[in-house]
Amino acid sequence: QVQLVESGGGSVQAGGSLRLSCTTTGYAIRPYYRGWFRQAPGKEREGVVVIDDNGRTTYADSVKGRFTVSKDNAKNTLYLQMNSLKPEDTGMYYCAADYLFRGRVRLDENDYQYWGQGTQVTVSS
């Protein structure tokens, strides 16, 4: 059974940084697609960044230049380095993964079958 476990959330002041981690377990083959999504209170979940097994990425415009996704295949772990955080970055951050090759790297939660439980990020002004 595939499981995704996030860590690294917390509270930080605007301008600060956080690093999220997501480790995938339960399946010998690593996911082809992995990504980060977030949901602010009262809003729908939105894509932050996704990455495929070849390293192709798609970032949301709102985080370009501030957030960086990376992965350690040996550890089956996905990271999200978040710099210059803003209050509008506040929300629950979810790691997602999928194994089905689609030939596209989209910020579409419908492309992802497996989800973590989420980790809270709070940015104060």
pLDDT for the residue numbered 40: 96
Q: What is the pLDDT of residue 15?
A: 98
Q: Quick one: pLDDT at residue 64?
A: 98
The order of strands in the sheet holding 67-72 is: 3-7, 18-25, 77-82, 67-72
Measure the CA–CA gap between 16 and 51, rounded to whole angstroms. Answer: 24
Question: Which residues in the chain land under pLDDT 50?
Answer: none
Q: What is the pLDDT of residue 28?
A: 80
The pLDDT assigned to 37 comes to: 98
- The CA dihedral of 96, 37, 56, 9, to the nearest 10 degrees, is -90
**For residue 29, what pLDDT is reported?**
86
Sign of CA dihedral 62, 65, 12, 115: positive
pLDDT of residue 106: 95
